[in-house]
Chain A
Amino acid sequence: MAYPLTGRQFYEGLKQGRLLGLKCEECGAHTAPPKMACAECGSVSVTVTGLSGRGVLRTFTVVRVAPEGFQAPYIVAVSELAEGPWLMGNLEGVAADQADESLMGRQVRVGYRILPPLDYAAGEVVTITFSLE
């Protein structure tokens, strides 16, 4: 059975300014990033759809000890999209040393960033970003 929306297609969509996801024809839930089946009910009756790209920042941290290939400090955050799915990304436009609890619950907009080539990665690495609205 064909994969409904690959990770590569998901990131190509982001690069063209569209946040793509799946809409479930059985339960109505949205799934993003994509999966083989609906993230809520497991149905494979899903269609590719565009999402608003807007959400709420639910949690974050400032990474001070970075993995090989990354330069600390930077902010990693998880946001809840208006349509329901949660995404992980890097918060941009806020200095790491300025990140504080006031970020919790802030409205964000989803973007993307292309990383420099990384060892042990399956091709081009694109990352989700968030910016405050």
Chain B
Amino acid sequence: MRRVAVAGVGMTRFGRSDLTLVELFAEAAMEAVNASNIKARDVQALFLGNVLGDFEEGQLNLAPLCANELGMANEVPATRVEGACASGGVAIREALAWVAAGFYDIVLAGGVERATAMDTPLATRTFAMNSDARYEANTGVTFPAVFAMLARLYAQTHGLSLQTLKEQMALVAVKNHRHGARNPLAQFQKEITVEMVLQSAMVADPLQLFDCCPFTDGAAALVLASEDVITRLTDKPVYILGVGQGSNGALIRQKNPARIRAREAAAGQAFRMAGLKPSDVDVVELHDCFTIAEILASEAMGFFPYGEGGRAVEKGETTLGGRLPVNPSGGLKAKGHPIGATGVAQACEIVRQLRGECGERQVEGARIGMSDTLGGDLATVVDIIYGV
């Protein structure tokens, strides 16, 4: 297996966009291509994460349209991948495998979503289609509702009062908005307070509006290259050291998900492949679709013991300047969550952090970074470790 590195990365401003899916992705992808000192026709394959193009624009089979838009050759296989909100992470892992195996030297991985093209009821319905349609989504369960139920289970499992947990969750939102205020591409670039979180509208109790990530339009892309050619593309390669992807069934099949098995599997694979352990990681972008989700992820990835992720937030360990900065980009919470693109946007942030390009949100001296992308009811998790 060959080593694989990231050459150029590209990402649009996240938020609300009038561009179509193809146009949005083209902007991010061409930025990544240009940053790799290649032409689009040098790319040998495209893996594109997108979840809801059909509902957003009535657009299916998006990947070849995007490849053609960019000017890629007819010989290039262009494939859409879908793993709910983890689609972008799945796209990177697919691209990596083809390069590592020696089929291709230069592959484009990316993702795009235009969630704001749907109104809130339709967006809420289509997001909920990532739950089990037969035995879960038919209850009217929404994604906030899934994580609301997880929050209650978490508090009870670890003997925390719901009020204590809610305050820890609010601190996650405050931290990620503070980080997002330092990211010119973030959807929200304003700081918020604990009071604002606790006074915001109830979405699915105990989750309030500011516990939830927004609906977002956006795209991100990166060029992966084999170790054989990477030095022709960039003098700042960021190597993929480890990768993992885990799967699980419907939430009810997982019973009490005090441990998130698919995430433990993904993180475990990535750490074993990299020959690293959680304490080796300098900076993390993880899947904070809801504030409770950041606490759950930070534990299942191995950074904190189960039940102590919230305490770590209280102690400031996960803020910029803390022991392990989590979501310096602002995370899904403040940077935004264009679901098909999120895993790739996380990769963009880690690559820029490891290259020292992040300005006032830079994690000083970061050499090892990790991303974590989750899809469905804890059903798909992709974890990737990057290093320079």
Contacts and interface: CB of A to CB of B under 8 A. Distances in A.
B125 A69 contact: yes
Nearest to B125: A67
A106 interface: no
Given A63-B145, A65-B204, A68-B125, A58 B256 contact: yes
B133 A121 contact: yes
* Residue picked from B124, B162, B206, B207, most chain A C-beta under 10 Å: B124
B138 A115 contact: yes
B152 A89 contact: no
Contacts of B252: 33, 78, 85-88
B205 interface: yes
Contacts of B162: 101
A119 B385 CA distance: 41
Contacts of A70: 140
B59 interface: no
Contacts of A76: 139-141, 145, 149
A62 B208 CA distance: 11
A58 to B, nearest CB: 7
Interface string A93-125: 000000101001000000000010010111001
A63 B142 CA distance: 8
Given A59-B153, A88-B251, A67 B148 contact: no
A39 interface: yes
Contact of A126 (B128, B138, B156): B138
A7 interface: yes
Interface in B317-367: none
Contacts, number: 105
Contact of B136 (A85, A88, A115, A126): A88
B153 A62 contact: no
Given A88-B252, A90-B140, A125-B138, A68 B124 contact: yes
Interface residues of A, number: 40
A66 B133 contact: no
Interface string B243-260: 000000001110110000
A72 B129 CA distance: 18
Given A66-B124, A67-B142, A61 B148 contact: yes
A25 B13 CA distance: 56
B315 interface: no
A64 B142 CA distance: 10
A68 to B, nearest CB: 4
Contacts of B103: none
A115 B138 CA distance: 8
A77 B251 CA distance: 12
Interface string B171-202: 00000000000000000000000000000011
Given A76-B149, A120-B129, A88 B142 contact: no
Contact of B124 (A65, A77, A115): A65
Interface string A35-74: 1000100000000000000000011111111111110001
Contacts of A61: 144-145, 148-149, 152, 204-207
A76 B303 CA distance: 31
B203 interface: yes
B204 A62 contact: yes
Contacts of A122: 133
A132 interface: no
B111 to A, nearest CB: 23
Nearest to B55: A120
10 closest residue pairs by CB, A with B: A67-B125, A61-B148, A70-B140, A68-B121, A68-B125, A59-B149, A67-B124, A59-B152, A86-B252, A61-B204
Given A63-B140, A67-B125, 11 more contacts: A7-B134, A59-B152, A60-B152, A61-B149, A61-B207, A65-B124, A76-B140, A88-B135, A89-B139, A118-B138, A127-B140
